[in-house]
């Protein structure tokens, strides 16, 4: 199999309990002083581990939500796609990883969709994915739920 085509994907869908615009606002305010709505301490620990392996670590900081644009950093993620009309944002992880991770949120009138894609670099990337998957499920599912429900 062509390794460039291999992706591990996780999709989560959450009913919106609030106005969809409020959910979108929470997404645009994620990171920095607001944190990640769930397990922010774990994200910070992940940042410490990242520095240990030669990465950038948990670079706390971000622009104001109204000023965000493609290319801006949000902690150790970077915005690679931002479509305000369709309420979609994609973040690419800048932490040291054996592969590439993209996190996407899309807000419809009734649902928040959260997608995580991991494109592993070889066997180390695959091993990493299977090692962290149980933690990812717990962290990402709860984070998405908190964003959707306020």
pLDDT at 1 over 50: no
Q: In a 3-state reduction of DSSP, which class is residue 134?
A: helix
pLDDT at 4 over 70: no
pLDDT at 33 over 50: yes
Query: What is the model's pLDDT at position 123?
Result: 94
In percent, the amount of the chain with pLDDT more than 70 equals: 96
Measured N-to-C along each axis, helices 20-28 and 122-149 cross at an angle, to the nearest 10 degrees, of 130
Mean pLDDT of 55-70: 83
Residue 3 pLDDT class (50, 70, 90 cuts)? low
Mean pLDDT of 3-14: 84
Residue 109 phi, psi (nearest 5): -65, -25
In the beta sheet, which residues pair with residue 12?
Answer: 114
Cα separation, 17 vs 122, in Å, equals: 41
Per-residue pLDDT tens digits for 77-105? 999 999 999 999 999 999 999 999 999 99
Tell the CATH superfamily of the 8-149 domain. Answer: START domain (3.30.530.20)
3-state secondary structure 83-124: ECCCCEEEEEECCCCCEEEEEEEEECCCEEEEEEEEEECHHH
- Give the residue among 38, 14, 34 at the shortest CA–CA distance from 25: 34
Query: What is the model's pLDDT at position 50?
Result: 87
Query: What is the model's pLDDT at position 146?
Result: 96
What's the chain's average pLDDT?
91
Query: What is the model's pLDDT at position 5?
Result: 58
Cα separation, 40 vs 10, in Å, equals: 20
DSSP state of 67: G
Contact present, 79 and 94 (Cβ < 8 Å): no
Per-residue pLDDT tens digits for 99-137? 999 999 999 999 999 999 999 999 999 999 999 999 989
């Amino acid at each position: 199999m062509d390794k460039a085509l291999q992706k591990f994907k996780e999709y989560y869908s959450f009913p919106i309990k609030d106005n969809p615009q409020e959910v979108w606002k929470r997404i645009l305010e994620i990171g920095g002083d607001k944190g990640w709505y769930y397990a922010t301490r774990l994200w910070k620990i992940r940042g410490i581990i990242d520095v240990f392996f030669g990465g950038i670590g948990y670079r706390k900081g971000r622009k104001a939500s109204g000023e965000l644009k493609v290319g801006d950093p949000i902690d150790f993620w970077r915005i690679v796609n931002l479509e305000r009309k369709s309420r979609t944002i994609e973040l690419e992880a800048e932490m040291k990883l054996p592969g590439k991770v993209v996190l996407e949120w899309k807000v419809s009138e009734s649902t928040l969709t959260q997608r995580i894609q991991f494109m592993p670099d070889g066997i180390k990337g695959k091993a990493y994915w299977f090692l962290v998957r149980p933690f990812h499920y717990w962290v990402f599912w709860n984070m998405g739920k908190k964003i959707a429900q306020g």
